[in-house]
């Protein structure tokens, strides 16, 4: 369809990116691809007609191709950096430029799938079109199919992505109705004059937030001046860490599914939360990795855990980034698994207390909205040259996202597993993300560290740490045998 044939009289639709969304866009450069992975493994045996790529593609056309759908929108920068970029309908949107179909090498197990995902995750998304792709990986064991979504972090955070997935699936099998997709006839892209006019119109509300941002900065400085025990300090951050530095262009990926009940068993017998057990097992995997190459770490490793600034239920829509991160001690220095779990529990609580104290005085959401595009790009380039010295998160980034608690279906195809990863940035080159789903605890490891050539080592270390804790938990909860007397 030619540009002059489009509906030029229709008013352009746009939505303004937040400053944090724009920050996520600006991170893309060189070996840094600020995109996330969302992976659904489908079991087509629940559909009498089996798997059909054509039917899947038809569903995407019906759900993604309509005015205002962010999946069919690209971003445009505002001239002169007057305001943040906007999402606007892409007149040249073509679904087939975003949906790819590949075959998994035999025998189609998880190692083979993860090798394919490594190649997918190392492909940067093109910024002159909507920032997502879906790779349909066929040929998995048992006739299963993987939908591997490559989604830029500028769209949303992990909690928002979980809600999007819930919106795209159902709690029971539903008929896939293949209909004629709507005609795609958006107006042309806005002119430079329109972009400037919209920016000037949208800017005053942002400028009115300057006093509150300055007040938040003053509160933040006062709060940060009070040290919190069992949490890394600014001085600790200046010490060398195993996975800091710049990213390579390659990616290493591995994932595995664990029964959620196994983590709950440990929690019930040894105390803490499921998240504490998760962090402790990550610490155990880091310890095992480092011990295999040098000596085990003599001091804790600095990690970062993700927190929500705004719960999904408080958002009018799932789009946008409303999450943050805070430092936590990852006690890879402790050999005993029970002692490690206890230390992680104390550190995680200290980090939660710190984030709760400073979250109400977080000026960054407002400051990013106020920062001109050129200034943000300059800051990000400087951070890149220092190997991520000023990146808010640090070294090992961990996230634990609650997903759907019951079985989900995409049409009549059962979603067997859901996996997800967050981002990698200069300064933290190892990401461990867990998504719970239907009684599963699904763990992904993504890395771009030059030190790591096999992400499976961390999955194996996570499994070994969890097995250790389960064995100890079983002994702790076993009934004590008592002697008796014969009658």
| Nearest of 326, 348, 344 to residue 336 by alpha carbon | 344
Q: Is 153 a catalytic residue?
A: yes
User: Do 388 and 30 contact (CB within 8 A), yes or no?
Assistant: no
Q: Cα dist. 468→207, 278, 472, 479 in Å?
A: 55, 13, 6, 19
Pair of tokens at residue 208:
């009115």
Beta strands in 52-211 (DSSP E): 73-76, 86-89, 99-103, 132-138, 145-152
User: Do 480 and 281 contact (CB within 8 A), yes or no?
Assistant: no
Q: What angle do CA 412, 418, 421 make, to 5 degrees?
A: 145
Report the distance separating Cα 171 and Cα 185, nearest Å.
33
The DSSP result for 359-374, as a single string, is: HTT--HHHHHHHS-HH
107: preceding bond cis by omega (within 30 degrees): yes
Q: What are phi and psi for residue 382, nearest 5 degrees?
A: -65, -40
Pair of tokens at residue 191:
């002119």
Active-site pick, 64, 83, 153, 417: 153
Burial class of residue 225, CB neighbours in 10 A (0-12, 13-18, 19+): exposed
User: What residues contact residue 7 under an 8 Å CB cut-off, 6+ apart?
Assistant: 185, 186, 187
Under DSSP, the state recorded for 227 is -
Q: Cα dist. 89→24, 134, 197 in Å?
A: 20, 19, 18
Residue whose tokens read 């606007």: 88
Report the catalytic residues: 153
């Amino acid at each position: 369809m030619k540009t002059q044939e489009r509906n030029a009289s229709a008013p352009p639709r746009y939505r303004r990116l937040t400053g944090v969304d724009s920050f996520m866009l600006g991170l893309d450069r060189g070996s840094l691809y600020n995109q996330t992975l969302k992976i659904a493994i489908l079991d087509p045996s629940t559909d009498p007609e089996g798997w059909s790529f054509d039917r899947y593609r038809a569903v995407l056309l019906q759900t993604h191709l309509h005015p205002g759908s962010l999946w069919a929108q690209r971003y445009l920068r505002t001239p002169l950096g007057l305001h943040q970029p906007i999402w606007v309908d892409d007149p040249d949107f073509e679904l087939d430029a975003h949906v790819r179909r590949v075959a998994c090498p035999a025998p189609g197990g998880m190692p083979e799938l993860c090798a394919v995902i490594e190649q997918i995750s190392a492909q940067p998304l093109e910024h002159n079109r909507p920032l997502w792709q879906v790779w349909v990986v066929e040929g998995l064991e048992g006739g299963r199919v993987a939908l591997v979504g490559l989604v830029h972090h500028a769209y949303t955070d992990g909690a928002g992505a979980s809600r999007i997935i819930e919106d795209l699936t159902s709690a029971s099998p539903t008929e896939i109705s293949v209909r004629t997709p709507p005609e795609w006839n958006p107006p042309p892209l806005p002119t430079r004059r329109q972009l400037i006019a919209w920016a000037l119109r949208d800017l005053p509300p942002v400028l009115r937030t300057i006093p509150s941002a300055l007040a938040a900065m003053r509160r933040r400085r006062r709060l940060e001046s009070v040290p919190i025990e069992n949490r890394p300090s600014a001085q600790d951050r200046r010490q060398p860490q195993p996975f800091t530095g710049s990213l390579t262009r390659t990616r290493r990926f591995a994932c595995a599914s664990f029964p959620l009940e196994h983590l709950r068993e440990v929690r019930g017998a040894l105390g803490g939360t499921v998240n504490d057990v998760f962090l402790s097992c990550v610490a155990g995997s880091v310890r095992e990795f480092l011990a295999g190459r040098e000596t085990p770490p003599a001091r804790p490793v600095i990690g970062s855990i993700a927190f929500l600034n705004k719960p999904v239920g408080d958002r009018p829509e799932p789009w946008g980034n409303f999450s943050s991160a805070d430092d936590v001690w990852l006690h890879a220095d402790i050999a005993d698994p029970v002692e490690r779990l206890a230390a992680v529990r104390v550190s995680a609580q200290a980090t939660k207390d710190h984030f709760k104290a400073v979250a109400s005085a977080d000026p960054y959401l407002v400051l990013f909205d106020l920062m001109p595009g050129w200034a943000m790009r300059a800051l990000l380039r400087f951070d890149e040259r220092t190997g991520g010295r000023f990146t808010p998160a640090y070294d090992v980034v961990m996230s634990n996202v609650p997903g759907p608690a019951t079985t989900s279906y995409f049409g009549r195809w059962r979603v067997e597993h859901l996996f997800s990863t967050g981002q990698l940035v200069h300064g933290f080159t190892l990401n461990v993300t867990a998504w719970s789903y239907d009684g599963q605890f699904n763990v992904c490891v993504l890395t771009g560290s030059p030190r790591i050539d096999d992400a499976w080592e961390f999955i194996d270390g996570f499994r070994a740490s969890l097995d250790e804790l389960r064995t100890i938990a079983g002994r702790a909860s076993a009934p004590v045998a008592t002697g008796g007397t014969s009658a």
